[in-house]
Amino acid sequence: MVRRSSITNMFAGSPIHPLQQHMEKCCECIGHLPAFFRAVADKDYEKAEEIQGIISNLEVEADDLKHDLRMNLPNSLFMPMPREQILDIVRQQDKIANTSKDIAGIMTGRKAVLPEPIAELFIAFVNRANDAATQAKTAINELDELVETGFRGGQITKVSDMISELDDIEHDTDKIERQLRHALFTIENDYPPLNMMFLYRVIDWVGKLADISQRVGSRLQLLLAR
């Protein structure tokens, strides 16, 4: 006859840890992209397909985590942050996984070709986008410390610094993106036009990955500002 205690009942599962786990998964997805682009540049399509499979599986796992989090976020919660903002951060994080999966999927399907002259720059671009996601993850990992300090004091400064570093990384990807577009423009007449058009699209997508990562950071900033 163990009494259902109101003391136990009042502690709802904190969404912070699931949120961090979800970000971890999403970062794993984008983390495989540099290796994927390397394989494409080497025309090793077997390996590319293998990596694409891994990314695809990780995206499914991330989706499961997302669903769990949403299901277990009851309506009447006292949380140190608004429920809508938690859901918004999850949505942004999820886009990192989805976009990574789409890029790998479509490139594998089309057996995309990275022209030799721009291959290294392209991979550097992907790497930098990956850096942005990793930095966003580092900031999200500070959420439990933020709760511990009650969103006050030095911890706020620390996370703010992380977010401004994330902004720097994103600006960096913008810069590389411009260089890459220009480099592609100078060689585009030497290759099949459709492939070139497609590569412009891929550049867009990778650029978007960095944008989304930055957006995760800015959503986190909204939590700090309250």
Q: Which helix or strand (DSSP H or E) is residue 216 part of? A: helix 193-225
Distance separating alpha carbons of residues 63 and 94, to the nearest angstrom: 7
User: For residue 121, what are the contacts with CB-CB under 8 A and spacing of at least 6?
Assistant: 176, 179, 180, 183
Task: Provide the CB-side half-sphere exposure for 176 (13 A, CA).
Answer: 23
From candidates 71, 153, 190, 194, binder to another protein by CB under 8 A? 153
Stretch in the footprint of another protein (CB under 8 A) among 57-65, 123-131, 141-149, 212-220:
141-149
Establish if 224 lies at the interface with another protein (CB under 8 A). Answer: no
- By the rule CB under 8 A, 76 interacts with another protein: yes
Q: Which of 20, 127, 138, 155 forms a contact with another protein (CB under 8 A)?
A: 155
Using rule CB under 8 A, residue 144 touches another protein:
yes
> Distance of CA 185 to CAs 5, 78, 182, 201, Å?
68, 54, 5, 13
What does the alpha-carbon distance between residue 192 and residue 199 come to, in Å, rounded to a whole number? 11
Name residue, tokens 């990192």. Answer: 96
With binding defined as CB under 8 A, does residue 1 bind another protein? yes
Q: Does 20 bind another protein (CB under 8 A)?
A: no
Report the residue from 44, 60, 149, 218 that binds another protein according to the rule CB under 8 A. 149
x/- letters, 82..121, toward another protein (CB under 8 A): ----------------------------------------
Q: Min. distance of Cβ 14 from another protein in angstroms?
A: 3
Among 116, 150, 190, 193, contact with another protein (rule: CB under 8 A):
150
How many residues belong to the site for another protein (CB under 8 A)?
A: 33
Which range of residues in 3-11, 23-31, 111-119, 160-168 is near another protein by CB under 8 A? 3-11
Using rule CB under 8 A, residue 71 touches another protein: no
Nearer CB in complex with another protein: 4/189: 4
Say what angle helices 33-41 and 45-71 make with each other, to 10 degrees. 160
Query: Using the rule CB under 8 A, is 14 a contact of another protein?
Result: yes
Asked whether the beta carbons of 134 and 27 are under 8 A apart, the reply is yes
> Which of these, 145, 148, 150, 15, lies nearest to 87 by C-alpha position?
15
What is the DSSP secondary structure assignment for residue 12, as one 8-state letter?
P
Of 161, 179, 145, 168, nearest to 214 by C-alpha is 168
- Residues lying near another protein in the complex (CB under 8 A) are found at 1-16, 74, 76-80, 144-145, 147-155
